[in-house]
Structure 1
Amino acid sequence: MAELRAAVIAEYVKGYKPGHIFKHLKPLGINRKFVYRTIDRYLETGGTEDKARYGRPRSVRTPRLKKIIRDRIRRNPAQSARKLARNLKMNRESIRLLLRKNLTLTPYKKQVVHGVTKATKDKRYQRSRELLGWRADDEIIFLDEKLFVLEQTVNRQNDQVWSVSLQQALADKLNVSRFQNKTSVMVWGAICKRGKLPLIFIDKGVKINAAYYLDMVLKKNVLPQAELLFEDDYYCFQQDGAPFHTAKVVQAWCKENLTDFISKNEWPPSSPDLNPLDYFVWGYMMSKLNDYKKTNLEQFKRVITKIWDEMPMEHVRAACDDFPRRLKLVRSEKGGVIPRYRL
């Protein structure tokens, strides 16, 4: 670097302008900005040495330490900055600065996903390919069930209460009650691009089997609502691989009474990432529950119904429209779980 600066100044002293110096010395690998900076430094200081720096010199985040930490992260990318600092007997903030700024790394939270075996992956891959071939663009009614629990959800990282001291923090804001016998309610929901079917609440203690599902869900709710939404138009019905969904009597009824349906041998197993109720609707509703006061079961049901009814249809349609894209992602992953960065 010192030789390059000296070459620039030698040309400048001879009377050459910066543009000429850049063209002449360009083969040496310098850029135009380097030429101008070197001349400015020469005019200001009378030399080409670096200016005196302010603050103490860097003594911790050295190239040697950078290599040590890079090697450790390569061996185990899941270790924390706290553990690295303890093992290296260093300040935690210095480690974090080195990880983020010097190594340009970003910490990502671990993700809980549904597990798939080799056999499940093969079925997901094969059935996703088949659905893409002749079902992806159908008008599909998606159905799924969800258990809602009457208690406030807490995000321990982001849910906070600001106060000058713990003693002065309001107890009703700070404390979240948990009871041994939780009040909960099971609901069935169904959506399609044309609308949302009314929610179906299941009374506590009811044994859900094929007969109950067929009578209370399909015959009394899904079929009448589907005929109301589609009239004489074609639609396709989807349900997952729950035992009462795949029972012979249920499959036979669907084949006889619905315009079309995805049978138990066509829907990919272990695929919540393919059902818009799983990958959008239930999460949307859970995020809204804490906005409402609910102290008993009936009030809880009214809140759930209100959130369902007010859920924007443009969001529902977007979730349904995402189904073909997700089928392609499962296919490209050879039946594996869709990576978060691709969603």
Structure 2
Amino acid sequence: MCSVRSDTFIITIHLPTNKSILKWYNDFIPRGCICDQRKGHFICPAVSEEVVDKVRDAFVRSPKKSTRRCSQELKLPQSTVCKVLHKRLRFTPYRLQLVQKLYPKDKEMRFEFCHSLQESMENDPGLLSKIIFSDEATFHLNGKVNRHNVRIWGTQYPHANLEFDSDSPKVNVFCAVTERSVYGPFFFEGPSITGQTYLEMLQNWLLPRLQAAEGDGYIFQQDGAPPHWSLNVHAFLNTNLPNRWIGCAGQHDQVFCKWPGSPDLTVCDFFFWGYVKDKVYIPPLPKTIDELRERVTEALRAITPDMLQKVLMELDYRLDICRATRGAHIKCL
């Protein structure tokens, strides 16, 4: 160790020991590099083009293959497979993203909706805090598609389908979300939601709660699900919330603005239900409908106002992205 004195401070320099110099020499002779392999800064030259080709062929044949499975098949260390995928092949492990097909007209409607809503937000900075986002979701006893643990290796984003059993016991749940709180859950009776049962929920459960907590300044949002298209539902909203509701509406409906039928723009779709289902389907999975309902209720209690405020900030960002892409899907990889 030696010290170098300057006008204002002293710099201490630790000289390498003989042991360190010998280690660097022994690393450099066989590999031509003294980088620490454990930190991922070095790709061993021993990985031949033949090995790279084998890894490429393995994932071209089966993009959903795990790195562990590939290492077992090719008799290679898993770390070598990962380095070849990332560094040599430039493959990316894409997560599954479920989206609905968009037609040119759908993109135009999405763009117009985002443009109209952001214009209204400029005139009323507190507009997002007034919107009540709502949606229904189905919870099955057999669990859900675990997109978090599914990866598809490739150089471009894939389009894949996953199947699951839709005939298992289930519950249909309705919730409404604001900047401050969550209204719900409301559990529908019966295997499906009809326009009549949805209307009864609005009349007897949701609107009385909104009126008591939010007053007359809120704006109610619903998507384009079949029960929402009921003429009785539209008549009820036109009478009780004239120009204060957002939805897939007809020419004579009194709406604040028309909803474009987009699953990646509503708070419930891009955050709320995904968060709730991640909480509900933690192993061991629920075994009865009553247990499933209890888990849904507990998951909703875990949502805090701070989380909801951050989600609304994400919505504003998504409106920007949708406008910039002229209504295309918002991909969150």
Q: What TM-score range do you get, normalising by the shorter chain?
A: 0.5 to 0.7
AA partner of residue 279 (structure 1): F
Distance 1:223 1:157, change over 3 A: closer
Gaps of 5+ in 1: 1-43, 45-49, 160-177
SS of residue paired to 2:287? coil
TM-score (normalised: structure 2): 0.64
CA distance in 1, matches of 2:27, 2:246: 74
* 2:280 is the alignment partner of 1:289: yes
Paired position in structure 2 for 1:170: none
* 2:300 is the alignment partner of 1:316: no
Paired position in structure 1 for 2:196: 211
TM-score (normalised: structure 1): 0.63
AA partner of residue 237 (structure 1): F
CA distance in 2, matches of 1:263, 1:180: 27
Paired position in structure 2 for 1:127: 113
CA distance in 2, matches of 1:241, 1:183: 25
Give the percent of matched residue pairs that are identical in Structure 1 and Structure 2: 26
Distance 1:121 1:310, change over 3 A: same
Number of residue equivalences:
262
Superposition map of 1:14-93 within 5 A: 53-55=28-30, 61=47
Distance 1:109 1:157, change over 3 A: closer
Q: Does structure 1 conserve the Cα–Cα contact (< 8 Å) formed by 2:140 and 2:166? A: no
Which of 264, 278, 283 is the aligned partner of 1:273? 264
- Which of the two has higher C-alpha Rg? 1
CA distance in 1, matches of 2:85, 2:165: 42
CA distance in 2, matches of 1:318, 1:113: 23
Q: Does structure 2 conserve the Cα–Cα contact (< 8 Å) formed by 1:240 and 1:267? A: no
Distance 1:297 1:99, change over 3 A: closer
Which of 196, 211, 223 is the aligned partner of 1:227? 211
AA partner of residue 223 (structure 1): L
Q: Does structure 2 conserve the Cα–Cα contact (< 8 Å) formed by 1:199 and 1:305? A: yes
CA distance in 2, matches of 1:317, 1:51: 56
Shift of 1:323: 2.2
Distance 1:96 1:311, change over 3 A: closer
Distance 1:228 1:118, change over 3 A: same
Which deviations, in whole Å up to 9, do the C-alpha atoms of 1:256-277 show, x marking residues without a partner?
2126111424444341111111
Give me the CA root mean square deviation. 4.0
Which of 180, 185, 193 is the aligned partner of 1:199? 185
Distance 1:100 1:222, change over 3 A: same
AA partner of residue 209 (structure 1): T
Paired position in structure 2 for 1:302: 294
Shift of 1:284: 0.9
CA distance in 2, matches of 1:158, 1:130: 38
Shift of 1:278: 1.1
CA distance in 2, matches of 1:327, 1:157: 25
Distance 1:306 1:119, change over 3 A: same
Which deviations, in whole Å up to 9, do the C-alpha atoms of 1:34-57 show, x marking residues without a partner?
xxxxxxxxxx9xxxxx99943278
Q: Does structure 1 conserve the Cα–Cα contact (< 8 Å) formed by 2:172 and 2:193? A: no
SS of residue paired to 1:143? strand
SS of residue paired to 1:301? helix
**Larger fraction in strand:** 2
Shift of 1:193: 1.2
Shift of 1:59: 6.6
CA distance in 2, matches of 1:52, 1:299: 59
**Larger fraction in helix:** 1
Superposition map of 1:74-113 within 5 A: 96-102=82-88, 106-113=92-99
Paired position in structure 1 for 2:317: 325
Gaps of 5+ in 2: 1-20, 33-43, 151-163, 250-256
Q: Does structure 2 conserve the Cα–Cα contact (< 8 Å) formed by 1:276 and 1:323? A: yes
Superposition map of 1:236-251 within 5 A: 236-251=219-234
CA distance in 1, matches of 2:85, 2:167: 45
Q: Does structure 2 conserve the Cα–Cα contact (< 8 Å) formed by 1:288 and 1:307? A: yes
Paired position in structure 1 for 2:332: 340
Distance 1:96 1:231, change over 3 A: closer
Q: Does structure 2 conserve the Cα–Cα contact (< 8 Å) formed by 1:294 and 1:300? A: yes
Paired position in structure 1 for 2:131: 140
